Amino acid sequence: MKEYESIVETLLFYGVKVCEPYYISTGKEILKFPERPFRMDFYAFCICISGYIDLEIDNKKFTVSQNGFLVSAPSTVVRFLSHSKNFRMKLLFFDKNFLLKNISNPFFIEGLNLFSDSNFTVTSSDKEQSTRLILLLQYLEQQTERKNHRLKDVIRTIIINLLLEISIVIETENKQSIKNALSDPNNIYQKFKNLVQENVLSHRGVQFYAEKLYISNKHLIEIIKKHSGKTPHVMIDETLIKITYVLLGNPEKTISEIAFELGFSSTSAFGRFFKKQVGISPQEFRNQLAIKK
């Protein structure tokens, strides 16, 4: 595969031929992901309906979990890093010229302020918001199966409605982020996530992070649960597992080397941790990666 390939070529990788200036996925399990980065040549909207995926977008790393989504403009470069076993997503790709055919304003999409990071936005939504977006995608998928001379106009209208809803979610989330920052000047939750990313290889105890944040274990647990619904310990383990997935994908590293790099006292201790989190051993996981390749 080319280092930077278009989404049309990427869909051909899955045996999907795009004959229309739009594409809506089914949301079924994706068994294989491109190993190299690829360049979007369509506008794209991708929403996670279960699990999580780690992505690199324009050289920046993100995690998109359930109810989270990515919306991006053409020329965005995406690379899949790792994902959970239960990861599912629904996708929409569309061409700008197709969407704007009957719209006099050529800057309609730009006016929606969809892209907080020049070419893309990665954000979360609540269950009600994500349900609304997913229902619109499902309705859009249903309409593509109809045979009608006005079908493309119907498709355009639904996509426009979807973009408007996405714009509302992004605006709401941005306002909520500002509100949270004002009501929580120390932003403990974000600081905790950053600290975990920076220190998880050497520190997996909650006490370390509580001390770094100058709060008690109890207070840290309350804050993290309120923001994520998870305990700090669970978030620490999830972060470590994501790093483990990437390391196991490198065939040049032995499992013993990976265990040492992750800070485990022994290969067996690492194996017990991994199996508890994932359900299979590190070697079995690596064997599955080899089969998929």
Q: Which of 142-151, 170-179, 201-210 has the lowest mean pLDDT?
A: 170-179
pLDDT of residue 167: 95
- pLDDT per residue as tens digits for the range 213-239: 888 888 889 889 888 889 999 999 999
* Average of per-residue pLDDT across 129-140: 95
C-alpha distances out from residue 196 to 112, 204, 249, Å:
35, 8, 22
Q: Do 106 and 100 touch, CB atoms closer than 8 A?
A: yes
Give me the domains of the chain, ranges plus CATH numbers: 7-182 (2.60.120.280), 188-292 (1.10.10.60)
Residues 243-275, buried b or exposed e (16+ Cβ, 10 A)? bbbebbbeeeeebeebbeebebeebeebbebbe
- Band the pLDDT of 185: cuts 50, 70, 90: very low
* Average of per-residue pLDDT across 174-196: 71
- Band the pLDDT of 190: cuts 50, 70, 90: confident
Check whether 181 has a pLDDT greater than 70: no
- Band the pLDDT of 246: cuts 50, 70, 90: confident
pLDDT of residue 18: 75
* Average of per-residue pLDDT across 100-119: 86
- Of 293 and 286, which is predicted with more confidence? 286
- Band the pLDDT of 266: cuts 50, 70, 90: very high
- pLDDT per residue as tens digits for the range 41-99: 889 999 999 999 999 998 889 999 999 999 999 888 899 999 999 999 999 999 999 99
pLDDT of residue 174: 79
Check whether 253 has a pLDDT greater than 70: yes
Check whether 211 has a pLDDT greater than 50: yes
End-to-end CA distance of the chain: 13
* Average of per-residue pLDDT across 171-178: 77
Q: Which of 95-104, 107-116, 182-191 has the lowest mean pLDDT?
A: 182-191
Q: Do 261 and 230 touch, CB atoms closer than 8 A?
A: no
The closest of 155, 124, 125, 152 to 139, measured between CA atoms, is 155
Q: Which contacts (CB < 8 Å, 24+ apart) does range 107-115 have?
A: 109/43, 109/73, 109/163, 112/163, 112/164, 112/166, 112/167, 113/167, 113/170, 113/171, 114/71, 114/163, 114/166, 114/167, 114/170, 115/71, 115/72, 115/73
